[in-house]
Copies of this chain bind each other. A is one copy, B any other.
């Protein structure tokens, strides 16, 4: 996806940390680390903590889901400024067992009223191949607030 709403990859991540994470109680609790947020692509990393698991000991589906949702929202924000999630679909592929979750989002259509994004989530552990745990597709709605 062509143009960006930000001057540089560093500016995009700085905005993300300041506004979406810094002003969000939940994002602060989560402590998601933005790796890339640029030109329709996003990559986010989350260190899993015991308070993020479900009753089988894996990452809770809601944690996997929010990584997918966040990756979509941030890929969308990179081309559209401030956004909210309109809706999304997620399929869980495998148990999210690992030390951290990595999510990547990719814009497939950047419209004025709606941005469509796909995202994938992987569970990772040191010394093991990443495991693809979820696939999502979201519609992201620009709020019109441009950073």
Contact = CB atoms under 8 A, between A and B. Distances in A.
Tell me what chain A mostly uses at the interface: helix, strand, loop, or mixed.
mixed
Interface stretch (A3-11, A36-44, A85-93, A122-130): A85-93
Contacts of A69: 61-62, 65
Contacts of A29: 51
24 contacts: A22-B55, A23-B55, A25-B49, A25-B50, A25-B52, A25-B53, A26-B52, A26-B60, A28-B51, A61-B84, A61-B85, A62-B63, A62-B66, A65-B69, A86-B92, A87-B91, A87-B92, A87-B139, A88-B89, A89-B89, A91-B109, A116-B135, A118-B118, A118-B135
